[in-house]
Amino acid sequence: MTDLMLRPSRVSPVQRAAGTVLRSREVAVAAVLVAVILVTTLKSSSFLFSSDGWRDLLLTPCILVPLAIGQTVVIVTRNVDLSVGSVLGLTAYLTGRLFLDHPGLPIVAVFVIGMLAGAVLGAVNGVLVAFGKVPALVITLGTLYIYRGIFLTWAGSNRINASDMPEGFLNLGTASILTIPVLIIIALVVLAVVGYVLWTARGGRELYAIGSDPDAAKLYGLPVTRRVLTAFVVSGALAGLAGVVYTARYGTVSSGAGYGIELQAVGAAVIGGVAIFGGSGTVWGAAIGAFLLVTINRALPIVGIQDFWQQAVVGALIICAVVLDRVLSVRQARRLVEARELS
């Protein structure tokens, strides 16, 4: 045995913490986000250094962030929720109808009703997946079309306009606190709450355990069915919140609201480091992934990249994220095997 092997480790706690941060997927994605902003700003300074540029940079992700957070809660259990775009559309239209049919309804009550409606729709998914033991991909693909069909039948050719809603609600789409848009503040509050619960609460940690190994979780006595159901309820509630935010952000709601955004939510979570195979990832990473996706969509036209390549870049990011997760999981499994052989 050499002196080097006998010598105690000289790595300080600060160095270990720095190493962990540098290996973090969240930090890597944040670095890419900063690079995209810097490159685009060098091309056009108004992208960042203008009142509208700064506002749009923060405001544009306000709808995708809650969806990505809810998607993360589901994906860590080794499931997926493809119905969130339709839930968003339904609750966005519900928001407009509430103001039309009940003009004096408080704005806070509308937010609560929107989240409750989304939670009910999410519970339908959860019951079918958790109790019916049907793959989430199949169930939520079906409810995506069912909820969208209900939305189209209800809305028809009608459209909710800004004139149908109170000024106080519409002001949320433009209001800021210390130059930070109110709608993104709402999204960040949700991020902090859900992130804290997942990181510290027993129920949050059990979601990760279920995603890592569902069979082992059952043998250990974890309430797998209840936790999976809860994950879908949370995803639905946050999609409902995103629907209310959508209405405040744009002031109008048509039958196309939320169309296709479910794939962006899944992409944001995966790009942010949430393993599509379950068991790992954070809502912080998903939120950064959401910021990165919408920022890329805004930045690429400024640097002169055509529409086709904009979509190709986003697709390439998702593929790279999935491949990276797979490579890292294989390397980790190999290290565990080597550690057992040495012990």
- Given a contact cutoff of 8 angstroms between Cβ atoms, the answer to whether 287 and 73 are in contact is no
25, pLDDT greater than 90: no
> What is the three-state SS of 202-266?
HHHHHHHHHHHCHHHHHHHCCCHHHHHHHHHHHHHHHHHHHHHHHHHHHCCECCCCCCCHHHHHH
242 CB contacts (<8 Å, ≥6 apart)?
63, 64, 66, 67, 84, 88, 91, 258
The mean pLDDT of 69-73, rounded to a whole number, is 96
Whole-number percent of the chain with pLDDT over 70: 88
Structure confidence at residue 29 (pLDDT):
87
61-75, 119-133, 280-294, 318-332: the lowest-pLDDT one: 318-332
5, pLDDT greater than 70: no
Structure confidence at residue 266 (pLDDT):
93
CA distance 135 to 79: 8
* Residue 13: pLDDT band with limits 50, 70, 90: low
Structure confidence at residue 3 (pLDDT):
43
176 DSSP assignment: E
2, pLDDT greater than 60: no
Please report which helix (H) or strand (E) contains residue 181, including its range: strand 180-181
* Residue 6: pLDDT band with limits 50, 70, 90: very low
The mean pLDDT of 7-15, rounded to a whole number, is 50
CB hemisphere CA count around 301 (13 angstroms): 6
161-170, 254-263, 285-294, 332-341: the lowest-pLDDT one: 332-341
44, pLDDT greater than 90: no
pLDDT in tens, 248-270: 999 899 888 889 899 999 999 99
pLDDT in tens, 201-232: 998 999 999 998 888 988 888 999 999 999 99
Which residue would you say has higher pLDDT here, 140 or 342?
Answer: 140
Structure confidence at residue 192 (pLDDT):
96
- What angle do the packed helices 261-271 and 307-342 form, to 10 degrees? 40
Structure confidence at residue 79 (pLDDT):
95
CA distance 216 to 279: 13
- Given a contact cutoff of 8 angstroms between Cβ atoms, the answer to whether 105 and 98 are in contact is yes
- The whole-chain average pLDDT of the chain stands at 86
Structure confidence at residue 324 (pLDDT):
73
**Domains of the chain, with CATH numbers?**
48-342 (1.10.3470)
Sign of CA dihedral 36, 37, 42, 44: positive
2: left (phi over 0), alpha (psi -120 to 50) or beta: beta
Count of residues in the chain: 343
